[in-house]
């Protein structure tokens, strides 16, 4: 089978770190550890596992973060991955082979695989506290390789764990507990949006919106637009402002229910003045061009993940408010004074969970499917591009340069 493999080496990584400023395309080459290869299909780790044939494999921002070297070499995320690996965790697939302990009815079914490699998937019993509470995205056992019945190496999800494979290939394997059968009539295009929309929805549900009147969604890529959609889909009626870099993103944000689009001007002081005007706040200026805000939003959903956007998100949250970190960033060098000075609550958000929603418990992905079927905006517009796997460089370029390609979600499409 063919698959896009990532396996960085220190010399190549350092070389590309310098060379990318002269030749950005080096990031998509073997020098940076990325290549399309002919591979042996992964083996089933046990009798509770299935083989899946990929239909669509989405390109996630976390994948681009790895490829584009946005995480520093000392990031703790390196301890939650096993390289080399076939990338890709967003997926729609068809079950083609089942282990001896799997219900035969799964064979031939179209599925969406919850990508997390938590305790049940690893065969760890008893499971950790997070998994017992349904918070699979915060599992304690992503990093200790070899634990559990199936002895999987370190990896938080498929796409970052070599033996499991990923959706940037023709096949991958999954534990039966990961399989989610989409509702009848749900298109493949909507199916591949399940995982990213679930990440946004989980972040929204992490926040206490009971007394919130106005929120800011910082970022209008897939996660940010997903957060706008999720807020309206669950019935929240307060004011939503969205920071958007590109016109096509702003158009989708407004279609999904955003009340205001914020185009940030250049310069720290000007940025803070623009936000202060929207929340009746005051800009407080420090030394050497530093600024903060007195007043702010009740909740800020940070959906970009850079150190500067994280710092802005903290400073633009009102005293006693909440900052929810949905973007998967490192935050190195972020000024965290606002956390203690204004007593804000910072909430992390990772993956999917069993959500407590309107008095019932439901998996985030299944809740996404329910909300997709309600009357509302057409979320299929989020899938803007598909490419065959052989054109992986073109696909990655489209995902990276959103302005030039007017892209939001880009995916690899495999023959049915």
Place of tokens 């299935």: 50
- Quick check: is 208 in a domain? yes
Contact 198, 190 (CB under 8 A): no
Same domain, 246 and 170: no
Q: Is residue 306 part of a domain?
A: yes
Among 221, 343, 216, CA closest to 274? 216
Token pair in block for residue 237: 């009626």
Q: Are residues 207 and 118 in the same domain?
A: no
The Cα 12–Cα 229 span in angstroms is 40
End residue of a domain, out of 328, 348, 368? 348
pTM comes to 0.95
Question: Do the domain assignments include residue 375?
Answer: no
Q: Which of 182, 226, 178 is nearest to 204 (CA)?
A: 226
Domain identity same for 219 and 268: yes
- The reply to whether 19 falls in a domain is yes
Please give the pLDDT value at position 144.
Answer: 84
- Helix/strand/coil for 286: coil
CB atoms within 10 A of CB 67: 22
Distance CA 300, CA 151 (A): 40
- For residue 68, being part of any structural domain is answered with yes
Among 348, 370, 397, residue at a domain's last position: 348
Averaged pLDDT for residues 394-416: 95
Q: What is the pLDDT of residues 356-376, one digit of tens each?
A: 999 999 999 999 999 999 999
Q: Where are the strands (E) in 133-181, listed by range?
A: 171-175, 179-180
pLDDT surpassing 90 at residue 209: yes
| Total domains, the chain | 2
Do residues 174 and 158 make contact, with C-beta atoms less than 8 angstroms apart? Answer: yes
* Mean pLDDT, residues 144-171 taken together: 94
Task: Please enumerate in sequence order all residues whose Cβ is within 8 A of that of 305, keeping only pairs 6 or more positions apart, or say none.
Answer: 61, 65, 70, 325, 327, 328, 329, 330, 331
* CATH at 206: 3.40.50.720
Rg (CA), the chain: 21
Sign, CA dihedral 387-392-396-402, equals negative
Is residue 366 domain-resident? no
Q: 25 is in which domain, residue-wise? A: 2-181+382-413
Q: Write down the pLDDT at residue 411.
A: 98
CATH number assigned to the domain comprising residue 106: 3.90.180.10
pLDDT higher than 80, residue 416: no
Q: What does pLDDT average to over the chain?
A: 95
**In-domain check, residue 206:** yes
Q: For residues 159 and 166, is the Cβ–Cβ distance under 8 A?
A: yes
What pLDDT was estimated at residue 143? 87
Query: Is the same domain home to 240 and 96?
Result: no
| Spatial distance between the Cα atoms of 240 and 323, rounded to a whole number of angstroms | 14
- Asked whether residue 329 falls in the same domain as residue 213, the answer is yes
The pLDDT score that the predictor gives to residue 333 is 78
Top-confidence residue, 77 or 282:
282
Tens of pLDDT, residue by residue over 334-357, are: 888 899 999 999 999 999 999 999
Helices 247-255 and 222-233: angle between axes, nearest 10 degrees:
10
Rounded average pLDDT over 69-75: 80
């Amino acid at each position: 089978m063919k698959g896009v493999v990532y396996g960085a080496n220190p010399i190549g990584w350092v070389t590309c770190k310098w060379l990318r400023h002269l030749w950005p395309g080096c990031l998509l080459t073997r020098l940076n550890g990325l290549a399309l290869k002919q591979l042996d299909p992964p083996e089933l780790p046990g009798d509770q596992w299935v083989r899946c044939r990929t239909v669509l494999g989405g390109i996630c921002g976390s994948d681009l973060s790895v490829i584009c070297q946005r995480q520093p070499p000392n990031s703790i995320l390196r301890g939650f991955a096993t390289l080399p690996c076939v990338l890709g965790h967003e997926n729609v697939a068809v079950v083609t082979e089942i282990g001896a302990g799997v219900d035969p009815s799964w064979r031939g079914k179209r599925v969406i695989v919850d990508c997390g490699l938590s305790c049940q998937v690893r065969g760890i019993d008893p499971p950790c506290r997070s998994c017992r509470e349904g918070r699979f995205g915060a599992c304690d056992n992503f990093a200790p390789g070899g634990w559990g019945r199936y002895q999987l190496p370190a990896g938080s999800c498929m796409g970052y764990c070599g033996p499991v494979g990923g959706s940037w290939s023709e096949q991958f394997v999954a534990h039966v507990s990961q399989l989610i059968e989409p509702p009848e009539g749900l298109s493949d295009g909507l199916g591949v949006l399940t995982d990213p929309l679930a990440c946004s929805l989980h972040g929204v549900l992490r926040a206490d919106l009971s007394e919130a009147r106005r929120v800011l969604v910082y970022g209008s890529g897939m996660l940010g637009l997903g957060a706008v959609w999720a807020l309206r889909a669950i019935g929240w009626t307060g004011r939503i402002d969205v920071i958007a870099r590109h016109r096509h993103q702003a158009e989708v944000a407004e279609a999904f229910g955003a009340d205001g689009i914020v185009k940030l001007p250049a310069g720290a002081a000007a940025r803070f003045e623009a936000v202060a005007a929207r929340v009746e706040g005051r800009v407080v200026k420090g030394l050497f061009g530093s600024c903060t805000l007195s007043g702010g939003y009740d909740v800020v959903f940070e959906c970009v993940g850079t150190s500067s956007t994280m710092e802005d998100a903290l400073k633009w949250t009102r005293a006693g408010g909440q900052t929810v970190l949905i973007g998967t960033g490192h935050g190195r060098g972020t000024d965290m004074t606002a956390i203690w000075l204004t007593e804000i609550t910072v909430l992390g958000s990772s993956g999917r969970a069993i959500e407590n929603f309107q008095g019932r418990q439901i998996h985030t992905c299944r809740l996404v499917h329910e909300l997709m079927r309600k009357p509302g905006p057409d979320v299929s517009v989020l899938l803007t591009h598909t490419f065959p796997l052989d054109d992986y460089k073109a696909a990655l370029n489209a995902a990276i340069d959103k302005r030039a390609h007017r892209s939001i979600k880009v995916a690899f499409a495999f023959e049915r």
